[in-house]
Amino acid sequence: MEEAAYLAVWLIGLFGIVGTVCAYVAKMVIHDSTSYDEQYVWRRKLPPEARDKR
């Protein structure tokens, strides 16, 4: 019975960590923008025809 309690605590902790990471990754993907990429990743402006291909 004690092993089941340890297993439950570990599984809750594991799913909590995985859930937190998934939530932050989803937030990052949802709020991703071309302007952020231009400013911080590519360090240049894209031509207007490249912006409309989303």
- Return the structure tokens found at 2: 């004690």
Provide the domain limits for residue 48.
20-54
- For tokens 């995985």, name the residue: 18
pLDDT of residue 54: 55
Q: What is the DSSP letter of 44?
A: S
Distance CA 44, CA 1 (A): 61
- For tokens 């937030």, name the residue: 27
**Is residue 14 a part of any domain in this protein?**
no
Q: What is the pTM of this model?
A: 0.62
Q: How open is the CA angle 26-51-53, to the nearest 5 degrees? A: 80
Total domain count, the chain: 1
**Is residue 6 a part of any domain in this protein?**
no
Per-residue tens of pLDDT for the chain, all 54 residues: 999 999 999 999 999 999 999 999 999 888 888 777 787 877 777 777 776 655
**Is residue 29 a part of any domain in this protein?**
yes
**Is residue 3 a part of any domain in this protein?**
no
Cβ contact 53:34 at 8 Å: no
